[in-house]
Amino acid sequence: MSYRKRVFFLIIGQPISSLGVAALVQANIGLDPWGALHQGLSNVTGLSFGICTILVGALAILISALLKEPLSVGTIVSVIAPGIFVDLFQGMGLIPQMQGLWSGVALMLLGQVMLALGTYFYMAAAMGAGPRDALMVAVSRPLHLQVGVCRTVIEITALILGYFMGAKIGVGTIIAALTIGPALQAVFALFHYDPKTVHHDSFSELWTVFRRWVRREPPEAPSPVPCPSDDKENGGPA
C-alpha cells in the first residue's frame, strides 16, 4: 500500500470511528465501558471527565510501550482527533438522542460497527494504533489470542473498574462490552486484516519518508501493509 493511501486511511478512520463513539453516547442506554471507567475515575479523584480520559489514554500508551508495541504519529492523531470530531458531531446534532430501549440498542450496535470500521482504517495505515487498539494488540501478541477476544476482556475490565468506582452502568454498557470485540474481529476478517502481523512505522521511519518527499528523492519501498484491493490484484484471498 502506498504512503499516500496509508495517510488517507489514517485520516478517514478518525471521523468514522468518532461517529461510532457519538452513536454510542446518543444511544442513551448506558455509558460504554471506557466511558464508565473515565466517569468512575472522575468520581474517585475529583478530576474532570476529560482529564480522566487523557490519563487513561496515557496509561494505555505506557502499558503498550512496555509491551514493545510500536507507537507513532497515528497514536497521537488517535488521541486528539476523536475528541474533536465527537464534540463536532454532538454540536451539529448529527445523531438524535434515542428515547426508547430498542432504538437505543439498534443505534448502539450500529455505532459499534462504525467504530470497528474506523478502527480498521486507521490501524491499516500502519502509522501507529490508537491507545486502546495498541493495548489490545500488545496484550494479544504474548497471549496468542485473537484481538477481538483481547478487546472484549479489556472492555469488561474497564467496565468492572468503572462500576466499583461508582460509574453509572446501563444495559448499553453490557452490550458495548460484549459486542466491540466481535465487531472488530468481523471487520478485520472481512478485509483479511491481521493487526498482529503488521509493522507500524515509527516516528523516525515516517520522518525519513517525509524528508525524502521534501527533497524529491526516490522513495524507498514502503513497509508491506495488507490491503484488500492488493490481495485481489495479486490473486490473494478475495
Task: Please check whether residue 24 lies inside any domain of the structure.
Answer: yes
Task: Please check whether residue 237 lies inside any domain of the structure.
Answer: no
pLDDT digits (tens, 9 = 90+) for 104-153: 999 999 999 999 999 899 888 888 777 887 888 788 877 777 777 887 88
Grid coordinates standing for 115?
467504530
pLDDT digits (tens, 9 = 90+) for 160-199: 999 999 887 888 888 887 888 888 889 989 998 887 777 7
Domain coverage including residue 163? 3-232
Task: Please check whether residue 171 lies inside any domain of the structure.
Answer: yes
Higher per-residue confidence, 24 vs 102: 102
Query: What pLDDT shows up at residue 238?
Result: 42
Task: Please check whether residue 193 lies inside any domain of the structure.
Answer: yes
Task: Please check whether residue 42 lies inside any domain of the structure.
Answer: yes
- CA dihedral (80, 3, 129, 106) positive or negative: positive
What is the DSSP track for 10-30?
Answer: HHHHHHHHHHHHHHHHHT-S-
Query: What pLDDT shows up at residue 58?
Result: 81
Task: Please check whether residue 45 lies inside any domain of the structure.
Answer: yes
Say if pTM beats, i.e. exceeds, 0.85: no
User: How far is Cα 226 from Cα 223, in angstroms, rounded to an integer?
Assistant: 10
User: How far is Cα 195 from Cα 172, in angstroms, rounded to an integer?
Assistant: 27
Amino acid at position 33, single letter:
P
Task: Please check whether residue 156 lies inside any domain of the structure.
Answer: yes
Number of compact structural domains in the chain: 1
